[in-house]
Amino acid sequence: METINGRLLNWASILEENTRQQAERTASMPFIYPHLALMPDAHLGKGATVGSVIPTDGAIIPAAVGVDIGCGMIAVRTQFTADDLAGRPLDVLHGRISRSIPLSAGNKNAKIRASAEPRIAELRDMPGANQAHGVAAHWPQQLGSLGSGNHFIEVSLDETDRVWLFLHSGSRGVGNRLAQKHIRVAQDQCARRHVQLPDRDLAYLVEGEPEFDAYIEALRWAQRFAYLNREEMMDRCVDQLGRFLGTEVERHDTVNCHHNYTERETHYGREVWLSRKGAISAREGQLGLIPGSMGAASYVVVGKGNVSSLMSSPHGAGRNHSRGAARRLFTRADLDARMKGIAWGHSDAFLDEHPDAYKPIDQVMADAADLVEVRHTLRQVVNVKGD
């Protein structure tokens, strides 16, 4: 761990100068308490650094939570092993999962499934539902859809060849629109107060004001949507794997965790709003998920409760190159070689998800050795993504 200054601690051994500067700007905000913690996968983000843990007292920065509110991961360990998959056409399983779950930005379900109905009913009854309907009336159709970018669904094998289902997604279009709405409100509030910000995207809302309360309501609704969205997709993955193998899936372990979210937590003796933007909670004994990039290893971990890190850990590999740079740097032939032995989409659309567009997950995990202990190491055999 490196102490950059009294308000900024860093666990990233790979840290670009512009990322460091961005984190320093965020840490300089007057309501940060006790300090900002940079995770090993830290990289440049909107306003605040992706891979940062931001405790705030009396205020929240909406852009520091992120625009994919509640984004996170879910994993299920099944009773199956590699022997159960041996000799079977995994490209067929890839196709079945792809048809069962809407992929790519903007896609949604043609009809609401029975499994989604109680989840949608819960969301309709929550505070924040009116806000959600106001920005994206189609949100019920998007429950159970993946999205694009670095979101994925994987079938993986652990260190003893047990089969896991693992997926990464968030609150989809409705969460993004809610976030953008409240980022604009925060910017308007700061402008009205003539607040001089080091970055416009560090605009904040003040606790005790109606705009703050409205954001918290939307935030909690979107976080719940994201959690249930992952559950709905996992149900479909479980169903498709069971059909593929001709045996009902037994769920031996399940982990579902956010990595773009805010919770009320106590750190260093004070209750604060803790925003994890590209970070997971890693309290002592708490299970978490840290995926690698496409074609790389992923990890099931258990938290060590590191106090200085605000009991947090990285959420993945963290980008090393922008999407545009990745498309210029990497070739389809190289991506094909890196994905050998994995059933995947075989499309140029995934060049910006090339493994080398991300930091080496082995280095990220080495940097996180004081934050989490690895419980399981997963390697993909099926990778489903939206373009």
**Calculated CA dihedral for residues 211, 260, 232, 355, nearest 10 degrees:** 150
Residue 55 phi, psi (nearest 5): -90, 130
DSSP E strands in the chain: the ranges are 2-5, 8-10, 36-43, 50-56, 59-60, 72-81, 152-157, 162-169, 205-206, 253-258, 260-267, 270-277, 279-281, 287-290, 298-303, 312-314, 372-384
**Does residue 182 have an active-site annotation?**
no
Dist. CA 330–CA 115, nearest whole Å? 40
Retrieve residue 231's tokens: 């559950």
Structural contact between residues 115 and 228, judged by C-beta atoms closer than 8 angstroms: no
Q: Which of 196, 188, 187, 186 is nearest to 29 (CA)?
A: 196
Contacts of residue 21, Cβ cutoff 8 Å, sequence gap at least 6: none
> Which among 168, 258, 259, 315 is annotated as catalytic?
315
User: What b/e readout covers 270-300, taking b as 16+ CB neighbours within 10 angstroms?
Assistant: eebbbbbbbbbbbeeebbbbbbbbbbbbbbb
Dist. CA 80–CA 375, nearest whole Å? 18
Structural contact between residues 143 and 136, judged by C-beta atoms closer than 8 angstroms: no
The DSSP letter of residue 343 is: B
Dist. CA 237–CA 27, nearest whole Å? 41
Which positions are catalytic? 315
